[in-house]
Amino acid sequence: MRDFEETSTQQHWAWSLKGVIAIASFYGLLHGLFRGLSSPVIGQDDVIANVYVQTLEAGYAAKQGPIYEWLLWLVQLVTGPAGASFLFLKYALLTAITAFFYLSAKRVLQSDVWAVLTAFSLSLIYQIGWNIHEGVTHTAVLTCFVIASFWAYLRIMERGRFGDYVLFGVFAGLGMLSKHTFGAYFLILAAASMMQAPLRRRFFNPRILISLFVALAIMSPYLWWLATQSDVLLRAAGGMSGLASTRYLNGLLFGLPRLIVAPIGFLFPLIFILAVMFPGSLGQVMTAWRGGFKFGPEPDYERLIHHMTLIAFLFLFLALIIFGIPRFFARYMHPFFLVTVIGLVAYAMRACRDGRQIRRYMLVMIALAVAVFPFRAGYLFVGAPLFCAKCRQMVPYQPLAEWLRVQGFERGTLMGGFRHVAGNMRLYFPEARIISLKNPVYVPPTKHQSGQPIVVVWNPATDGELLPKRAKTELERLGVTAIEDPQTLRIPWTHSWKPTGYRHSEWRILFINPG
């Protein structure tokens, strides 16, 4: 196996950081082009972000930080509110994630080959190899800063320079602005650091105050915004006080099995592929378990990751017992078990007997990475129940926008009953003021001028037949008192081979032209 590693690193540029970035960028380019050419409709999680970034704000929603919107706002300064902005940001983040995984794994595993294998093993995790393509916004940023901060942490452990603590603080602050669960990752990392004296000396060092200061400085605009949202804080307090005994017991019964299923689901199918491809890796897990608290004089990063995994399970168990939190789903496990991927590959590396196992593993990775494309093609083009139910990527928003243009709408105020309508309409009316009626936290500042048209679009199946109440409130703010009956627009879906009209989208449209 050592001969394979030496030969590979000498002959192939791919076993370097530049190679990892190049391959990851090419992978992202292919997926980005594939998605962009297949459908103009933006994804499930992108729609509300497209509404938010009409303005740059210190905060948008209390449940997660604003860093994704800030990055998207910067990208859209160049691209405008186009679908390409989301694809560019998504795959730039995925490339950064892959690069930081390579850098972190190289320090832990001390091998270029296994560092590359670790980086591209991410394609064997459903939440990253598949789910990131059609969903995921803030989670992509969270993933990036979890692994970036872990890399900065390793730099602290190896060198402990002033700049390393600053870098760690930058990534920690940005991570806290992605999702609040980043804080759980930070606590897990700190707790695992306490178990080894060399790590403890570097982490619990007065210089860590530099990291905390930098992180708080980065977070300060959002923290100030959050402090001013009294209604948000009251709702959060009400939610905590509403943990009645019946609800608690139900959460406990539901959460206990999820406590085991969710982490395995997050690492699926990688955890099983490694076990099959490197049979001795399970034995390495048991060895690590037996020697879990035996330490040498030097930092043991593999043991650190092992402890982080155990502490993550303990953290989730305490969250379940103390608060009765049952929402343990694979898509929420990134801050808890993302770094575990490096540990799993470390077990495989210890169990690997020769280069043939590595080659077979690489073939499996390539085969599954390629197999994603036909499955995505089925989702994006076929639109059958096998691939999607609501099939939102096939909804005819473009004909809806063309109809509105014919009616005379270009600038003004457009209210969408469902966030998908609002977010997608901003693609076609970048100069309009777009409001998502089901997201009352953010309403763009009033820039509506008298004489400009006002449009309310809603789906009777999801929003009801009557004009949404929030639309009435906004219309009153705009000085509209006389409201006519809405029109009904029914647009047929098109398909590559099915007859046009095999499905329809129906909207209620209230068009007000004060001029």
Do 422 and 351 share a structural domain? no
Residue 481 CA: distances (Å) to CA of 434, 445, 448, 484:
20, 21, 16, 10
Residues 72 and 144 in one domain: yes
My answer on whether 411 and 367 are in the same domain is no
Task: For residues 183 and 279, state if they share a domain.
Answer: yes
Report how far residue 465's alpha carbon sits from residue 479's, in angstroms, rounded to the nearest whole number. Answer: 23
Q: Check whether residue 224 and residue 345 sit in a common domain.
A: yes
* pLDDT at residue number 9: 54
Question: Does residue 362 form part of some domain?
Answer: yes
Same domain flag for 439 and 363: no
Query: Which tens digit of pLDDT belongs to each residue from 470-481?
Result: 888 888 888 887
364 lies in some domain: yes
Check whether residue 507 and residue 362 sit in a common domain: no
Which domain-ending residue is among 335, 353, 378? Answer: 378
DSSP for 220-280 reads HHHHHHHHT-HHHHHHHHHHHHT--HHHHHHHHHHHHHHHHHHHHHHTTBHHHHHHHHSTT
Does residue 208 contact residue 165 with C-beta atoms inside 8 Å?
Answer: yes
pLDDT tens per residue across all 515 residues of the chain: 555 555 555 556 778 999 999 999 999 999 999 999 888 999 888 999 999 999 999 999 888 999 999 999 999 999 999 999 999 999 999 999 999 999 999 999 999 999 999 999 999 999 998 888 877 899 999 999 999 999 999 999 999 899 999 999 999 999 999 999 999 999 999 999 999 999 999 999 999 999 999 999 999 999 999 988 766 555 555 444 444 444 666 667 676 778 889 999 999 999 999 999 999 777 777 676 666 556 667 889 999 999 999 999 999 988 888 877 667 889 999 999 999 999 999 999 999 988 899 999 999 999 999 998 888 887 777 766 666 777 888 899 999 999 999 999 998 999 998 889 999 999 999 999 999 998 767 888 876 566 789 999 999 988 888 888 888 888 888 888 767 889 999 999 988 788 888 889 999 999 987 65
Q: What is the DSSP string of 301-312?
A: HHHHHHHHHHHH
Q: Indicate whether 215 and 106 sit together in one domain.
A: yes
Q: Which residues of 365-399 are buried (b: 16+ CB within 10 A; e: fewer)?
A: beebbeebeeebeebbbbbeeeebeebbbbbbbee
405 and 350 inside one domain: no
Q: Are residues 220 and 308 in the same domain?
A: yes
Residue with tokens 């692994």: 147
Query: Residue for token digits 């799993």?
Result: 344
Same domain for 415 and 372, yes or no, is: no
How many domains, in total, are found in the chain?
2
Domain of 176, in residue numbers: 2-229+258-378
The two beta strands, 487-492 and 433-436, are: unpaired
Among 331, 346, 378, the domain-final residue is 378
Residues 470 and 326 in one domain: no
The pTM assigned to this predicted structure is 0.92
**Residue 385: inside a domain:** no
> Which of 378, 411, 432 represents a domain boundary (last residue)?
378
Q: What 3-state class would DSSP assign to 352?
A: coil
Is 32 a domain residue?
yes
| Full DSSP string of 472-487 | HHHHHHTT-----PPE
* 17 to 8, 112, 323, 355, 392: CA distances (angstroms): 14, 9, 43, 21, 37
